[in-house]
Amino acid sequence: MLSREDNALLTQVGPGTEMGALFRRHWLPFMLADELVAEAPPKRVRLLGECLVAFRDSRGRAGLLGEHCPHRRASLAFGRNEAGGLRCVYHGWKFDVAGRCLDMPSEPPGSGFRDRVRAEAYPVTERAGLLWAYLGPAEKRAELPEFEWLGLPAAQRYASRWVQDCNYAQALEGEIDEAHVSFLQRRVDAAGLPVSALTGAHFQEDRAPRYTVHETPYGLACGARRLVQGDEYLWRINLFLMPCFTLIPPADDPNSRLFRAWVPQDDEHTSVLCVNWRTDRPVSERELELWQRGEVAHRKLAESAGKITDRTLEHLGTSDKPVVAFRQRLLGTARLLAEGVEPQTPYDPDCYRVRAHASLVSRDERDFIEQEEIRRGMLAP
Ligand code: FES
């Protein structure tokens, strides 16, 4: 459980909040690149509690502006996207993707007023089919995290997005919570016995999985070890990467992988950007179909706990180690930042070059982090 104060610190990400400041130190994906079409009408975007509009100009550049026009605050969501900028339909002021005012038809020629006015604008970059934004202070501008899938050919990855009606933290906690795998994602054989999706081997269900969590430069490596038939252990290692990313190991195909970004739209809504990719070959039609079915059960269960779950009422057990560690990592880092200690992850893009991992390991009592084969498997090339 958390105190009421810690729950508020964890879940509130708007301007002026401590967690909001930590998120604003990182580049965050907020849309699929193909959601924006050149010269098409702008789209409203909610990101970290801010009201914004996104558009793609006639040169193909993506822009992210504050929703309200700096003149008299009309919504730029009604703006006309024309010839290199977005024109407010109220009095015609026109802004480019950097917020510069290109035209001000309501002022006399040569007044110079146009050069003294800027729309609020955030940097946007496009990588691997996603649009990424940086909402932090310009002098603290971060690097884009170097996930391995950013460099893959487009045919080997598939990006999707959905909105979850709850706070980002509880949505993400469902992803690193390996304990639910034996139940929510239970697979059974013809005789109705639980089996490993990775191997088809039977779990020894009389023994609960063992959970271990390690602090890492990028965030957390969360391991769960299950005893399966034949005296082998199945290790599954989920990764949490600051501030709101996860990597999950493959279920039944070691070359098929999954990244998710749990990006707060505001405190009660989360934009989930999902990238499935293959390390070995282009994605097939069949795989696309399976991936597109999504994770409806996960989504509904996270939402069923309320928009912002009351963590003062929880009863956490040993299987909740990853969830506890996730909260402590975020809370601790946000508190340090509030005291003036900068987080490391925004300025260490290579620390994100890692992989989630799943494998069968012969029976012994060593922790996953002590096992060389697993450690090697957790490094992305
Ligand atoms: S309110 Fe936008 S131009 Fe006047």
Whether the per-residue pLDDT at 38 is higher than 90: the answer is yes
pLDDT of residue 361: 85
| pLDDT, tens digit (0-9, with 9 covering 90-100), for 218-262 | 999 999 988 877 778 888 999 999 999 999 987 778 888 899 999
pLDDT confidence band for 185 (50 / 70 / 90): very low
- Is the model's pLDDT at 181 over the cut of 70? no
Q: Identify the pLDDT of residue 202.
A: 59
Residues with CB under 6 A from ligand 1: 69, 71-72, 74, 88, 90-93
- pLDDT above 70 coverage of the chain, percent: 90
User: Quick one: pLDDT at residue 196?
Assistant: 56
- For 12-25, the pLDDT digits (tens) are 999 999 999 999 99
Q: Which of 53, 93, 107 to mutate to test the pocket of ligand 1 (most atoms within 8 A of CB)?
A: 93
Pick the residue whose CA is nearest to atom 1 on ligand 1: 72
Q: What is the rounded distance in angstroms from the CA atom of residue 116 to the CA atom of residue 108?
A: 14
Q: How far is the CA of 28 from the centre of ligand 1 (A)?
A: 29
Residue type, 203: F
User: For residue 67, is pLDDT > 70?
Assistant: yes
Instruction: Check residue 232 and give its pLDDT.
Output: 80
| 367 Cα to the center of ligand 1, angstroms | 61
In whole angstroms, how far apart are CA 352 and each of 53, 243, 298, 342, 349?
29, 11, 25, 18, 6
Closest to 169 measured CA to CA, from 263, 66, 276, 300? 263
pLDDT class for 333, splitting at 50, 70, 90? very high
Cα 43 to ligand 1 centre (Å)? 18
- Which residue has a Cα nearest atom 4 of ligand 1? 91
Distance 90 CA to ligand 1 centre (A): 5
Q: Whose CA is nearest to atom 3 of ligand 1?
A: 91
Give the residue with greater pLDDT, 200 vs 327: 327
Q: What is the pLDDT of residue 259?
A: 95
Assess contact for 141 and 123: CB atoms under 8 A. Answer: yes
Domains of the chain, start order: 28-133 (2.102.10.10), 148-377 (3.90.380)
Q: Do residues 354 and 218 lie in contact, with contact meaning Cβ atoms separated by under 8 Å?
A: yes
Among 91, 104, 120, which is best to mutate for testing ligand 1, by the most ligand atoms less than 8 A from CB? Answer: 91
Predicted local distance difference test score (pLDDT) of residue 306: 86
Distance 299 CA to ligand 1 centre (A): 40
Which residue type sits at 235? W
Model confidence band, residue 304 (pLDDT cutoffs 50, 70, 90): confident
Q: Ligand 1 centre and the CA of 132: distance in Å? A: 27
84 C-alpha vs ligand 1 centroid, how far in Å?
18
* Closest among 8, 50, 16, 14 to 30, alpha carbons compared: 50
Between CA 143 and CA 156 the distance in angstroms is: 24
Residues 120-146, mean pLDDT to the nearest whole number: 96
